[in-house]
Structure 1
Amino acid sequence: MDSTPSTSTISKSVVLALRVLTFVFLLIALILIAINKGTEDTTNGPLEAKFNDFHAYRYMLSTIVIGFAYNILQMALSIFIVVSGKRVISGDGGYFFDFFGDKIISYLLISGSAAGYGVSDDLHSFFKAQELPFNSFFAKANASATLLLFAFLFTAIASVFTSLALPKKT
């Protein structure tokens, strides 16, 4: 009797591992962007910048929160599938939910990451020209955007596995 797990069991475990990695990266990105603020001394007193002062950072935070909520749902479903061997949503609907959900969320995550990188680069150049570098502020925002990019990559890889699980129609 062969005791090696089937490829189906391996792919379910891989998807669960990808979801856990996505969860970790989204959680750290959320913490970094939510607590991010910077202060620079000027002749008129200290100037403070917070993430919610900029629309692109608020968008990035929104994409993190939406991705986080979706990922928690998918982690719970993946754990149930790995443990019980059964799907919560029976029929083709569950497979399509996984596939399209992963696609939509991955696109949302990459757009949030791109928005964060774009505004950081533009604002850092602008503030540097004004001799207000805010280096720590932009470093934390870029770190959050980088973690969001990694979360996108893991979600995109998970979408490849969920596409392989789609029912084959003749």
Structure 2
Amino acid sequence: MAPPPSYAVSPVVSLIVRLLTFICLLISLILLATATGTASTTYADVEVRFNDFIAYRYLCAAVVIGLAYTAMQSAFTVYHITTGTRFGGNGLVLIDFYGDKAASYILATGGAASIGMALDLKDLGDALGISNFMNVANAAASLCLLAFLGTAVSSIFSSLALPKRV
């Protein structure tokens, strides 16, 4: 009996999706790391950075994990394109499948937690004068959610590469 057909997507398409995801994550990290604001209180002016908020620290960790995973998978995809064979053979198909799932969940929760916190603190940010900082951090979270869409598409591609099991 012949092996079941594989409905794998072209590795070039997969690489394009991964590179777009990587670009979104890189811009998100740059925006988040450079976002600063000065909160004016009655006692003093306080410099505000992303690491002052737990949700933004989580966003930063999610983006760094997403960057590392996407860079690794992009390298594997480039190897696949140049040699015509998958790195590690077909044995790593399940690792690609579950890795894409995990990466997409991490990115989704990082972006969602940050946007949720920003919505809760919108009035406080306006009162303290850090609304510009919040806007830049929201842009970073939005790019993280856009990168989530890229990893979700990659997850669909990796699920198509799974062999049919009866």
TM-score, with length taken from structure 1: 0.88
In structure 1, the partner of 2:61 is 62
Asked if the contact 1:117–1:145 (Cα under 8 Å) also holds between the matched residues in 2, the reply is yes
State the shift of 1:82 in Å. Answer: 1.1
> Which residues in structure 2 correspond to 1:31-70 (within 5 Å)?
31-70=30-69
Partner of 1:122: 120
Match in the other structure for 2:159: 163
> Amino acid of the residue matched to residue 17 of structure 1?
I
Deviation at 1:120, TM superposition (A): 1.1
Write out the 4+ residue segments of structure 1 that deviate beyond 3 Å after TM superposition.
7-10, 40-43
Structure 1 position 11, deviation (Å): 2.1
**Which residue of structure 1 aligns with residue 3 of structure 2?**
none
Partner of 1:14: helix, strand, or coil? helix
Amino acid at match of 1:109: L
Shift, 1:94, TM fit: 1.2
In the alignment, is the contact (CA less than 8 A) between 2:35 and 2:133 conserved in 1?
A: yes
Superimposed CA distance per residue, residues 75-94 of structure 1 (whole angstroms, 9 cap, x where no aligned partner): 00000101111011123x31
Q: Which has the higher contact order (CA 8 A, sep 6+)?
A: 2
Task: Point out where structure 1 has 5 or more consecutive residues left out of the alignment.
Answer: 1-6
Identity, % of aligned positions: 45
1:76 aligns with: 75
Q: CA RMSD, aligned part only?
A: 1.7
Deviation, structure 1 residue 9: 8.4
From the superposition, tell whether residues 45 and 141 of structure 1 become closer, same or farther in structure 2 (CA, over 3 Å). Answer: same
What is the letter of the counterpart of residue 23 of structure 2?
A: V
Distance in 1 separating the partners of 2:38 and 2:51: 14
Counterpart pick for 2:148 among 129, 133, 152 = 152
Q: Distance in 2 between matches of 1:160 and 1:8?
A: 11
**Structure 2 residue corresponding to 1:105, chosen from 82, 100, 103:** 103
Q: Which amino acid aligns with 2:144?
A: L
> How far off its partner does 1:10 sit?
5.9
Write out per-residue CA displacement over residues 99-139 of structure 1, whole angstroms, 9 at most, x where no aligned residue: 111011001100000011011111222333xx213111001
Distance in 1 (CA, whole Å) between partners of 2:84 and 2:165 is 23
Distance in 1 between the 2:125 and 2:8 partners?
52
Structure 2 residue runs of 5 or longer lacking an equivalent are 1-5
State yes or no: 1:17 paired with 2:13: no
In structure 2, what is the equivalent of residue 140 of structure 1? 136
SS at match of 1:162: helix
